[in-house]
Each structure stands twice: as C-alpha cells, then as structure tokens.
Structure 1
C-alpha cells in the first residue's frame, strides 16, 4: 500500500471516529441537576416519596405563630399555610398532603430524607447547603432577644449591653450563631435541644435572656411567658437578609419545582398576605446595635 493510500485511509478512519464520538450519548444527569420544565413539574405528577402524596416534615411541638394548636395539618399558622400553598401550586390538595414529625436538627443533617420537603424555620446557609438542598426563601427573618422584665438584660439597648448576661438558645440555630458570633458574651451561652426547654430556662431564671426569631419572640411574650419582654432585634449585618427556606434532600429532583412554587407565591402576593395574616404583630421591636 502506497504512503498516499495509507494517509487517505487514515483520514477516513479518523473522521469515522470523530463522528462516532460526536454522536455518543452524553452522561445522564442526576435528577437534582436537571432544570425544571413544565413536564417535570406537572401538577400532582412529581416523583414524591409516597406516590400521589406530598410528604411534609416539621418538628413537634409545632410552635405558634408558625402553626396553631400544635397541628401542622390544620392549615393555620404561617408555615402551615405556606406548606399548603406550595402543595397547591405543585398540584396536591389538602387531602394529598401527609405530615411527618422531623426533629429540627435532623431536617438538615446529612443523609437521605423521608420527606419531600421540611418546613420548620430553617435558615438557609452555606454550611447547611453542604448536606441538604433549599428552596428559595419564603420568609425574611430577624433574630430577637427576650428577657424577663425583672432581669438586667431587659434594660439592654445595644449588643454590648448583652455581653455580661447569661444567654440561651436552641442548639443548631442561627439564634445561637448570633450569640456566639455577634454578642460574644463573657459567659458561655446555655444550649438547649428544643425551644420549649429554652423558654422554660428563661421562665425559671436559669438564663437572663434567650435569642429566638422575632415572630416567636412576640408569641412567647404575648402568650407563654407574659412577664417577659422583647428587648430588641438584631440588625442584618450580612448584606443579604436571613431567610427561611424549605429543606429538601441534597439530591432531590423536586428542588427546582418547589423553588418555582415559592417564587410564584412571592410574585403573586400570597406570601405577603399570609405574613400579614399570621405574623403582622411581630414586626415592631427596637434594633440593637
């Protein structure tokens, strides 16, 4: 075979290889990487944990004003109402929403989830995104300080005024982060597994003050520890607001659909209306600087 013949044959073979490579199927993407489409988010047709149902997680007790009467399925309270509004957007009526008890810290811990999404005042953070996925934010939140009216903490006007008081918060929360990172108290803060324990510690005088989200602070002082007051709220120092988001499995194929539902509820005014209905009294507190 001549050199010219060999060169021609090599060129043809190379072209065949290139065509075959170009036509080879691309590696299949994981469901969580796929962009949302009208077909993939078809109402009531999502690949949910339980076929034909949307499984929603939250902690127990389910606190007001996020839930009413410790009943997530009642549709009353801001987060219960938001959950059902998201479900409706995804094509699931109230009869097709199943609630599951999920401890707060478990909701964003690493590992597979038995819920489609969890709603439980979980703030979106980069650290938590390493273990779970989040929807877009459904509520912009501030952290607040609650103290017994007789406590020295009740007179605080600035963050510096809180440095020498005994503070408490629930473990794993941004409330605790604000104590550690912003207040930096001289005394180690008391840490509790549940908000119920945190409130009991305040009521019994085991701590001078506690840090919780602002709506919860107003509920505590208005209905649970009536001899306490909302001392003030912390200002946003991060540039972007702290937001609560719906928690999903890290590899969930529903994340884009759930985010689309939350975004639609924000755009059409539903989230604002629900906030006004359930949280309207929890907006006015002095800012601690």
Structure 2
C-alpha cells in the first residue's frame, strides 16, 4: 500500500500540525483554527458542487481501510477522511469515493478527486507536483521477513546490508531502503504491496519494507510465518502522512484547517488509538 511508505517515533499527528498565532489588543491567547466562511461547503469549488470526492488506492489495505471498503468509515484513513469531510460541512451521503493508483496520484497533472488519502508521506520532492494538507499521522518504516529468512532476528542496519529487500514503487519505503539500509543488492520494486508480499512468500526477497501499521497487519493477519524484524530509525524531519491535493488546489488551505481542528479536538488521537493501537513496541534497528 501502499505504502507509501514513512520514519519516526510514533506520536499523534497533532504534535506537528500547524500552529495558529494571532494578537489581540488585550494580548489574549491565539484562537484555535476554525473553518471560515470561505471554507463553508457552499463556497468550496469541489469536483462536483455540493459533493466531496475522495480517492484512495485499489485495493485499500487494513488497518487503513477495512475489507477494501473505503466508504464504510472503518479503518483509520476511512475514519479520518469522513472526519475531515464533516469538518468541511459534508454529510456522509455527500462523499463520493474513487480509486486512483498511488503512483498516478503523486504524478503531476490534473486530478479527478478533491483529496486523496493513501498513506502519502509529505516530501519536498512531491510538493513540486502536488499539494499536501497538514499531517494527520506520524509514521515509521519497518522491515518484515519470513521466520525462516536469514534476516529474521537481526538487530542492526549493518545486519541487513547483505539482504535482498523490496518495496512498492514510488514509496518512501523504497527510499528508506536506499537511504538508511543501503544494501549491497539492488532493492526490488513492485507495483503494489500485494505483489511485494507474494515475492516475500516465494522467497524472491529476504525482507519487505512497509510502514509500521501495515507491517503489524501483514504479520498478524495475512502471512502466518512472517515477523517484524524491526523499525528503521528516524532521520531528520519526522515522516508524516498528509492528504494529497492537486497542485495549488483552492481546497488545500481549508482541508489543512480541518485536519488541524481534528488534531486540536483530539479526534485524530482517538482514531489512532481505535485503529492503530497495536503498532507500539516493535524492536528498533540501530
């Protein structure tokens, strides 16, 4: 999934969301962000007037979505998407879902959605082609392997240098391999996490790099004999997921404000605890 893939100590997205500052004649504390009149539903230039079109990949994986049904409201990203829609004034019936492949969504060019939620890590390179909202989740990358793999039980990046690793194309999972692990063998690239998981099961790669929540789901529910080798270290700016929008979208500011409100209100933390509570405690690769 898409992994898109992701590095840092897990924390709530609210810790890095935009702060709003202001001054008043009485020097009162700055007010929390609110949706302005310009961000009211009737003022938003969405793909379809009065409707909000949200995209994600196909298939959409757990724990981000449940049973590949984005419109169910179940799974962390489905729940976040509906929470953002509600902040913008859209009822559940006003939301339309569409499917867009991960690599197509991050590519330059017009979009057929208002925003896409699909574990998109916010990077400066991607900002050249698309817009991002304020972050809604902080994430770490991790390595999974079969229990029989030669890298199962290894504890350091140096221990992984001789491994054949793989990741989904266009993801920060792949970037984490090349930047952090720096294996001697060229990393393998796959069109989807489904393809990558098959390669792992077939012994074509020693390990697969995915974001940590996805790693817990794969090892806990999809591949019985797979284990999490460990989390990759945080380097530089914490990696965060953001909602993806068209470059210079008139919706970006309003969507970011909605995400910021959800962080301030504690909604993002509640959703994280509900859907991603299992991701604590994975070993660290040093």
Q: Distance in 2 between matches of 1:251 and 1:103?
A: 21
Structure-2 residue corresponding to 1:283: 280
- Give deviations 1:208-230, integer Å, cap 9, x for gaps: 10000000000000011110001
Q: Give yes or no for the alignment of 1:270 onto 2:260.
A: no
Q: Give yes or no for the alignment of 1:243 onto 2:218.
A: no
* Match of residue 112, structure 2, among 111, 114, 119: 114
What is the correspondence of 1:21-60 to structure 2 with a 5 Å cutoff? 38-60=36-58
Whether the 8 Å contact between 2:107 and 2:129 is mirrored in structure 1 is yes
What secondary structure is seen at the aligned counterpart in 2 of 1:133?
A: strand
Structure-2 residue corresponding to 1:191: 189
Runs (4+) off by over 2 Å: none
What secondary structure is seen at the aligned counterpart in 2 of 1:217?
A: helix
| Number of matched pairs | 253
Q: Distance in 1 between matches of 2:43 and 2:82?
A: 17
* Match of residue 146, structure 2, among 122, 145, 148: 148
1:117, CA displacement in angstroms? 0.2
What secondary structure is seen at the aligned counterpart in 1 of 2:89?
A: coil
Structure-1 residue corresponding to 2:80: 82
Structure-2 residue corresponding to 1:210: 208
Q: Distance in 2 between matches of 1:270 and 1:201?
A: 37
Whether the 8 Å contact between 1:45 and 1:52 is mirrored in structure 2 is no
1:155, CA displacement in angstroms? 1.9
1:44, CA displacement in angstroms? 4.7
1:45, CA displacement in angstroms? 3.5
1:274, CA displacement in angstroms? 0.3
1:140, CA displacement in angstroms? 0.1
1:37, CA displacement in angstroms? 7.1
1:251, CA displacement in angstroms? 2.0
Whether the 8 Å contact between 2:135 and 2:240 is mirrored in structure 1 is yes
- Give deviations 1:50-98, integer Å, cap 9, x for gaps: 1110000000000000000000000000000000000000000110000
What secondary structure is seen at the aligned counterpart in 2 of 1:99?
A: strand
Q: Distance in 2 between matches of 1:170 and 1:250?
A: 24
Structure-2 residue corresponding to 1:102: 100
Q: Distance in 2 between matches of 1:159 and 1:250?
A: 36
Q: Relative to 1, partners in 2 of residues 1:283 and 1:44: Cα closer, same or farther, differing over 3 Å?
A: farther
1:188, CA displacement in angstroms? 0.6
Q: Which structure has more RCO (C-alpha within 8 Å, separation ≥ 6)?
A: 2
- Give deviations 1:216-259, integer Å, cap 9, x for gaps: 00000001111000110012111x21000000000210000000
